[in-house]
Amino acid sequence: MSRYRKGQTLHGIIYVHRISDLRVGGLAKTHFRIFRKLCGDPFLQNVIIMTNLWSRLPSELEGRRRADELANLDDFFKPAIAKGAVMMHHMEDTVASAHEILRQIVKNHPRALSIQEEIVDQRKTITETGAGMALDEKLTLLAQQYERKLKEQLEAAEEARIERDEETRNEQLEEAERIRHLLDALEEEKCNQARQYQLLQEQFAEAERNHEQAMREAEESQVARRQEAKAQTAGPVGLLRMWHVLSTVLGRWTLTTSAQ
């Protein structure tokens, strides 16, 4: 964030996906959804979706087939590619292959990440950013489902009370109590997640401070080395100048003495 505050933006970000993974699970989709929120739609033009570990596949043809599937998954890479993200393949695990991907990034016009604008310009906390809310989304949806079920159970219990069906009413109330416990557990999970966000924000700030301190120390060390080199160079030069002056004075004194 400190670099963004100084006006520095990014040429690009590489999102790495293992082509060797046999299937795309819910966790992978969640991670990429959060990544998209972190970047924001305008920055997707600067994103490289890079596949690697091609050597673990039985053939390149199999890798190409998987890459095509990934690029066309509506709930995975397809929407990002439609907004400008570029899919590239680090197939040979060589320096040349890596350089090709880096050259693609260097060509990009630098842009700001959405999370940089949200935290720095809009002064949001991590939990208030798009990425933070994406993390909360799953818990929120689950809580909404439980609340609907709780309402249904309580309504069913009330109907049973009116009909004087105590057995059914007790069953509905027991189920309602079980759902309440689930809601309490979800609320506790949200609190834990908020604490994790706060810890993450503190760690992020600490990492920035450490980075800035390291940069200052590196600059100070570089200045000290330059000054030391300058002093070492100036020493012999200064002595030569003094010797030249002394020689001139002595020469003049010798000439004057001889003339007398």
- Is the confidence at residue 189, as pLDDT, over 80? no
Read off the pLDDT of each residue in 141-153 and give the average, rounded to a whole number. 88
Residues 6+ positions from 44 with CB-CB distance below 8 Å = 36, 80, 83, 84, 85
- Residue 191: the pLDDT is 76
Cα dihedral value 134, 140, 141, 147, nearest 10: -170
Phi and psi at 10, nearest 5°, equal: -110, 140
Judge contact between 21 and 62, C-beta under 8 A: no
Rounded Cα distance between 95 and 103, Å, is 12
Percentage of the chain exceeding pLDDT 70: 78
- Residue 201: the pLDDT is 62
- Residue 60: the pLDDT is 92
- Residue 122: the pLDDT is 87
- Residue with the larger pLDDT of the pair 51 and 221: 51
Q: What is the mean pLDDT of the chain?
A: 81
Label residue 142 exposed, middle or buried (CB < 10 Å: 0-12, 13-18, 19+).
Answer: middle
What band does 259 get if pLDDT is binned at 50, 70 and 90?
very low
- Is the confidence at residue 236, as pLDDT, over 70? no
- Is the confidence at residue 237, as pLDDT, over 60? no
Rounded Cα distance between 243 and 49, Å, is 67
At 74-87, the pLDDT tens digits run: 999 999 999 999 99
- Residue 190: the pLDDT is 74
* One-letter identity of residue 220: E
Rounded Cα distance between 105 and 47, Å, is 8
Q: What angle do CA 203, 207, 213 make, to 5 degrees?
A: 145
- Residue 211: the pLDDT is 55
Name residue, tokens 């999970």: 189
Q: Which of the residue ranges 57-66, 101-110, 181-190 has the most confident prediction, judged by mean pLDDT?
A: 57-66
- Residue 61: the pLDDT is 94
- Residue with the larger pLDDT of the pair 27 and 207: 27
Name residue, tokens 């066309």: 72
Rounded Cα distance between 105 and 9, Å, is 13
- Is the confidence at residue 248, as pLDDT, over 80? no
Residues 6+ positions from 157 with CB-CB distance below 8 Å = 169, 172, 173, 176
Judge contact between 99 and 36, C-beta under 8 A: no
At 32-48, the pLDDT tens digits run: 888 898 899 999 999 99
Q: Which two tokens stand for residue 124?
A: 């949001």
At 117-127, the pLDDT tens digits run: 888 888 887 77
